[in-house]
Structures are given as structure tokens and as C-alpha cells.
A and B are shown apart, each in its own frame.
Chain A
Amino acid sequence: MSMKLVRQALRGERPPPRMWRAHELRERYDAVIIGGGAHGLCCAYYLAEEHGITDVAVLEKRYIGAGGSGRNTAIVRSNYLTPEGVRFYDASLKLYERMAGELDINVMLSQRGHLTLAHNDGSLRTMRRRAEVNRLQGVESRVIFPEEIERLCPHLDVSDHPRYPILGALYHPRGGIMRHDAVVWGYAHQADARGVHIHQLTEVTGIAVEGWRVTGVETNRGNIKTGTVLNATAGWCSTTAAMAGVKLPVTTSPLQACVSEPLKPFLDVVIVSGSLHVYVSQSDRGELVMGASVDPFPSYSSRGSLSFAESLAGHIVELMPALQHVRLMRQWAGLCDMTPDYSPIMGFTPVEGFYVDVGWGTYGFKASPISGKMLAECIATQRTPDLIAPFRLSRFSEFDLVGEKGAASVAN
């Protein structure tokens, strides 16, 4: 709850007109963050807020929040499959729960409950395992059956008529949705207020490395000298890392999503089906926000396709037959950097001073606050925080992967 908003509402004050300012590009910064999304801006905020590092530039090639931060389906949850994943995403959810007050912005967090449907015995088994792992980590999560599912969401067809009948679901009461743009703007506003420079329309064209040590960044607006660079890009993390000579275990695939025309509020939970590759929630404007799994082959193209709309619509109508006459309004795609184990990559790289916060696949938005906080700690203290140690880049050469099959769009 943001007290400032309450005061403004009562006094009829308007918020300040600019939430962040434009600056001239300086010749040097203590730290440069590539990527002005929720992750990059959050890291800048925590560098300034918790570690007193305010001489920071955030470089964004388009406008802030133009990439994954503005293209995801705004779902937050922490009911993952691995203990490492559950601990990490739950720390993130806890930061989201107090974000409105901390950043003084209405992030419209609505913890309406999150249902992951199981359509076969295999997925039901996975749901049970996830529920147990979640509970061991102190995350409320349990398996429920069709009677309770119907009570929570009367529009779902829980009969045995569909091709893939609903056998049960993993219910996660603290999961929900929020306004992703407000998260980006909140971090941008607070980072700017602490002296961080946000540079939009600033594209990184090269990273200067001398003897395995970062010395600067080249951009379309001039060169910057710096000893610390964070790659917080999504969609271009491989090409950005390649500028510093670092090769990543990442492939980039588009993920498509869409919204329907606005409807009267009827759906007050988030519905996910791994087997049918869909997730759907109703926004405060009444639109159904729907997404699918990543496209069948890797690409940097963010064009929508008819085959996506067709298969998604088919699956949604199978889940909720009452939606058969609802029209689609908009369709878009975002780029997902997929790693072999469906877990992100955070922390040090073989190049000194070059850090990564990449490989965010389909789960980046859920982790924005905690990844920014942890990366800021990693940069400021020069050691990897325990919470993100399992997600280090070197886990691949050590054959110590974190198989996170609880991620969205993974069939389980």
C-alpha cells in the first residue's frame, strides 16, 4: 500500500510529471547496465539504494520496458519444482508483495490464486511433487480436485467430456497478476531519484575487453569507460555477451501472447495448463490475457502467427467452452532466451567485470526484484549470494544443472 497514493487521492494532487529524466552520456561510469527492463532498472535501484553505488548508467536501445518486461503476461508465482527455484522465486514474490509501498507506485498486485491444471496421471504426479517441494520451502501450494476447481473457477469444463479432461490442479493461493509496466516505471523512478542515469535510444555496439577485463562500452551515442558491465538483456543476451567474447548456453525463441476483447469480470484466478500449453488470466480492464509456449523453432523475429492464434483459441475453448464467441483483440511476441535446464544464468563470467543476468526464458518477470537485488549484491560485494549460486554460469562446465521443469510452457 502506497501512502503517497492515498495522500494524493485525498488531496487531489497529481503525481510529478516526469518519473525519470534524460541525461547527456558521461565519459565514464562506475557501472553500466545494458538493458532497461525490470531486471536492469531493479539492479540499478538496489546498487544505489543498498550499496551506495549511484554512478550507474542504464542503457536501453529502445524505450524502457520495451522488451520482455512489457511483453510478458504479468503472472507472478513461486510454486516451482526445484528447491533452489522455489526459494529464489519466493524471495522475489515477497519483494513484489511490498513493492507498492517501497517504490511509491501502484503496481496493482492481485494475488488471486494460481491453478496449474493436470490432464493426465503424469502431470498429477508432478503436481504432487511440486506441492511437497513447495511446502518444504514454506510456500503454500496444494493439489486440489475437480470439485474444488469448479468452486474456484465455475467456467472451467471439469467434466469428462473434453479430449484432455481436468483431473486435478496445483493450487497456489499467493500467485497472481500485476501491472508489469508499473514495475519498470517504479524502479526507473526510484533509480533516477538516487542519481542513476537512464539512457533510452542508446544501443550498445561493442564492449571493450583488455586481457580478460572489461574496460568500457561502445554505444551509438559515444564510448563509455567503465570497469563493471552487467548484461541484463533478454532476446539479445547471446549477441551482447559475444561482444565481450563470452559464449552462452542460450537459444532465443519467440513466445506469443494475446488479449481478447474486454469482458465483464468472471475469472478471478490464473489458469495454467502445461499439457495444453496455455495460460489465461483476466486483467482489471476485463481483457483475457493469454499466452502459449515458445514457438517451435528459435528465431529473433517477433512476428505473430495464425497457427499460434488457432491452437491457443482451440485450447482455451476446450477449457472454457463459454468463450467460443469471444474475439481476439491484439497479438504480440516477446523473445525468450532459453537455457538447457530452464533456469536462468546470473553472476560472474570468465571476463572480469562482466556480469550476466540472462537466460530468463519464460520466467523473467516473476524474478525481476530478487535478481536485481542479488546482482547488485554480487557486483557490490564481489561474491555470489547463496540464493543465486545454483544459477551461476559455471554450472554448465561443472555439469551441475538445475532442471526446472516447473517453468511455464514446459509440458509436465
Chain B
Amino acid sequence: MLILNCPNCGERNVSEFRNGGEYRPRPACPREKDDLQWAEYVYLRSNVSGVQKEWWYHRAGCGLWFLAERHTKTNEITATYRWRPAAASSEEERKADG
């Protein structure tokens, strides 16, 4: 059974959580994006076989949306942490924004 470490509540069974999909930084200047770029953001996924940074939602607990790093082949979770606005406007996001 998979155990997730919620940043608020600690270790809980995965059945308490809902997976929110892989982490994709939202375009910082949405108005400047054309339809093709929006389609890419909305639909395309990396779907990596390896460590994936992804969203989880503690549905049957505190209701927190947080980030986890999980190996998609072994389901081993190496880290869970809160999303932070400061970290979000980082290099990764600027890169995604082209």
C-alpha cells in the first residue's frame, strides 16, 4: 500500500488522496499565448517513466493541494512539499513561458 506524506497531516494511506496530474507551470502571460500554445499547455503531457513532479490533493484530510516527487515505475515517493509562489516564478516557469 502506498503511503503519502501530507505536509500538514503526515503519513496517510494513498486512498485519502487524489492525484492531480503532472506539474505543469501555467503560462505567466496568458494573453500573449496563441491557440496552439494553449492546446499544448492544456493537453500535452510528458508522461515520463521515471521521477515525476506531480500534484496531490488531500481529499479525505486537510484539503491541501501539494507537490510530490514520485517514480512512476516503482511508485516510490521521494519528496512531498507545499507549493510556494516564490518557487513557482522560478527558472522552470520562465522557461515554460518561452
Contact = CB atoms under 8 A, between A and B. Distances in A.
- A and B from one complex: yes
Contact of B19 (A238, A298, A397): A298
A250 B45 contact: yes
A248 B40 CA distance: 9
Contacts of B1: 305-307
Given A248-B44, A249-B43, A306-B1, 10 more contacts: A238-B48, A239-B47, A242-B46, A247-B44, A247-B46, A297-B14, A299-B75, A300-B73, A307-B1, A340-B43
Contact of B45 (A247, A305, A306, A399): A247
B19 A297 contact: yes
Given A296-B18, A297-B14, A300-B73, A248 B45 contact: yes
Interface in A214-264: 236, 238-239, 242, 247-252
A340 B47 CA distance: 13
13 contacts: A238-B45, A238-B46, A238-B48, A239-B49, A242-B46, A296-B15, A296-B18, A296-B19, A298-B72, A299-B72, A301-B75, A396-B44, A397-B40
From DSSP, what is the main secondary structure of chain B's interface residues?
mixed
From DSSP, what is the main secondary structure of chain A's interface residues?
loop
Interface of B: 1, 14-15, 18-19, 21-22, 35-36, 39-40, 43-49, 72-75
Interface residues of A, number: 23
A116 B73 CA distance: 33
Contacts, number: 62
B49 A236 contact: yes
A300 B50 CA distance: 9
B35 A252 contact: no
A8 to B, nearest CB: 44
Interface of A: 236, 238-239, 242, 247-252, 296-301, 305-307, 340, 396-397, 399
Nearest to A341: B43
B47 to A, nearest CB: 4
A239 B48 contact: yes
Contacts of B45: 238, 247-251
Nearest to B21: A251
Contact of A238 (B15, B36, B47): B47
A248 B47 contact: yes
Contact of A399 (B39, B48, B74): B39
Contacts of A300: 49, 72-73
Contacts of B39: 396-397, 399
B19 A252 contact: no
B35 A399 contact: yes
Nearest to A237: B47
Contacts of A249: 43-45
Contacts of A252: 47, 72
A298 B54 CA distance: 10
Contacts of A340: 43
A239 B48 CA distance: 7
Nearest to A296: B19
Nearest to B76: A301
| A-B interface, 4 closest residue pairs, ranked by CB to CB distance from nearest | A297-B19, A238-B47, A249-B43, A397-B39
A298 B47 contact: yes
A301 B74 contact: yes
A301 B73 contact: yes
B36 A397 contact: yes
